[in-house]
């Protein structure tokens, strides 16, 4: 099977799930990595070290910024000419858009956020979670190329072999686009939850430590946020001990405890870490939608009936304000820090 894998990146900084997609592609047959951008030679070289058999490189100043029209028309023109059987993408906000636009150009379909792939009679059959992860569907697409976006961390990342090399094939870019990027601003609290192997998340439960007295002069809302921020310090301390990223429920984000960049769930990030520790999070279906495919879930909640315990491998029923400092201290002594 002739599989293309789109290497997603921001200004040459690759989304690591792209390499997972290369690994997944290799299980289907040969892999051609697709690298678009400006000054992205190094990325093309890396693609070989992760196992790509061939690299198609569109390196053009007109592709310096990701613009969907330019990227989709470059990709669909190439695919129309070279006719790959499948195009895989890592699932990112950019790639969902790019995969969709390319599929429209090529009159084919897209299967998004896939967690498993199999090959049957020369066609890919995918498995993907639906209904907030409560059900898995197996799907295929009868048109070609089959376009698939793969959930980050659902597929193993191949080992990098620095000895592997190759010469990318340069291809033409199509840079016409009605949109142009005027500039970038860094999001407050920018975090990379999608690539994190361990995530410690806090919910509304971190805000109500009765032992804390907020400083005078704060109104009720400010006092709640102050308390929640103290609570999140416990979440952050545990995360830092584990080298983990910090996540949050929407309730915590909406209440202003932490920025949106931390939100996990249906309207936040969808994550699949090796370990997900939920602290003071009830486990509403919209939160589970973002984390239930984590390899191991640990829940800390004072309510033994909280729905989060239904998906947790390990559950601690108790007060997080006592459990988190004890857990962090125990880890500190175990890890010899």
Q: Which residues bind ligand FAD (CB under 6 A)?
A: 203-205, 208, 249-252, 263-268, 280-282, 284, 286-287, 290, 300-303, 306, 319-321
Least distance in angstroms from the C-beta of 258 to ligand FAD? 11
CB of 21 to ligand FAD, least distance (A): 24
Q: Is the CB of 41 or the CB of 303 nearer to ligand FAD?
A: 303
The strand order across the sheet containing 296-301 reads 245-248, 198-202, 275-279, 296-301, 314-317
| CB closer to ligand FAD, 148 vs 316 | 316
Residue that is written with structure tokens 């809302």 in the block: 221
**Residue 300 CB, nearest distance to ligand FAD (Å)?**
6
In sequence order, the 6+-apart residues with CB closer than 8 A to the CB of 212 are: 227, 230
Q: Could you tell me the CA-to-CA distances from 49 to 40, 58, 101, 151, 241 in Å, in that order?
A: 15, 19, 29, 22, 32
* Least distance between ligand FAD and beta carbon 16 (Å): 23
Q: Please, which residue, 171 or 258, has the CB nearer to ligand FAD?
A: 258
Burial group, residue 12, by CB count within 10 angstroms (0-12, 13-18, 19+) = middle
- Measured from each CB, the residue nearest to ligand FAD is 265
How many of the other CB atoms lie within 10 Å of CB of 102? 26
- Give the nearest distance from C-beta 295 to ligand FAD in angstroms: 20
Nearer to ligand FAD, 159 or 329 (CB): 329
Minimum separation from the CB atom of position 255 to ligand FAD (A):
9
Nearer to ligand FAD, 153 or 250 (CB): 250
CA distances in angstroms from 165 to 47, 57, 162, 192, 289, listed in the order given: 9, 14, 8, 29, 40
Query: Smaller CB distance to ligand FAD: residue 171 or 284?
Result: 284
Q: Please return the burial class of 52, using the count of CB atoms within 10 Å of its CB with bins 0-12, 13-18 and 19+.
A: buried
Q: Are 317 and 305 in contact (CB under 8 A)?
A: no
């Amino acid at each position: 099977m002739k599989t293309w894998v789109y290497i997603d990146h921001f200004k040459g900084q690759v989304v690591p799930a792209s390499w997972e997609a290369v690994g997944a592609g290799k299980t289907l047959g040969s892999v051609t990595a697709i690298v678009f951008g400006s000054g992205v030679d190094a990325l093309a070289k890396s693609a070989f070290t992760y196992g790509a058999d061939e690299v198609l490189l569109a390196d053009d100043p007109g592709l310096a910024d990701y613009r969907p029209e330019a990227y989709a028309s470059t990709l669909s023109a190439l695919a129309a000419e070279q006719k790959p059987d499948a195009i895989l993408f890592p699932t990112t906000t950019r790639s969902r858009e790019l995969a969709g636009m390319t599929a429209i150009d090529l009159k084919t379909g897209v299967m998004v956020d896939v967690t498993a792939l199999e090959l049957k009679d020369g066609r890919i059959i995918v498995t993907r979670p639906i209904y907030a992860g409560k059900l898995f569907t197996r799907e295929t697409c009868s048109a070609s190329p089959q376009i698939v976006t793969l959930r980050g961390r659902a597929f193993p990342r191949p080992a990098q072999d620095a000895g592997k090399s190759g010469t990318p094939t340069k291809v033409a870019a199509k840079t016409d686009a009605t949109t142009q990027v005027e500039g970038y601003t860094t999001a407050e609290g920018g975090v990379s939850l999608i690539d994190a192997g361990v995530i410690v998340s806090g919910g509304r439960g971190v805000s109500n430590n009765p032992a804390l007295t907020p400083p005078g002069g704060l109104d009720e809302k400010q006092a709640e946020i102050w308390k929640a921020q103290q609570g999140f310090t416990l979440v952050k301390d545990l995360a830092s001990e584990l080298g983990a990223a910090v996540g949050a429920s929407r309730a915590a984000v909406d209440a202003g405890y932490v920025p949106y960049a931390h939100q996990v769930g249906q309207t936040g990030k969808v994550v699949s870490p090796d370990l997900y520790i939920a602290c003071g999070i009830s486990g509403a279906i919209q939160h589970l939608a973002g984390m239930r495919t984590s390899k191991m879930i640990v829940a800390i909640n004072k309510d033994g009936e909280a729905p989060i315990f239904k998906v947790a491998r390990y559950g601690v029923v108790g007060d997080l304000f006592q459990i988190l400092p004890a857990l962090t201290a125990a880890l500190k002594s175990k890890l010899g820090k």
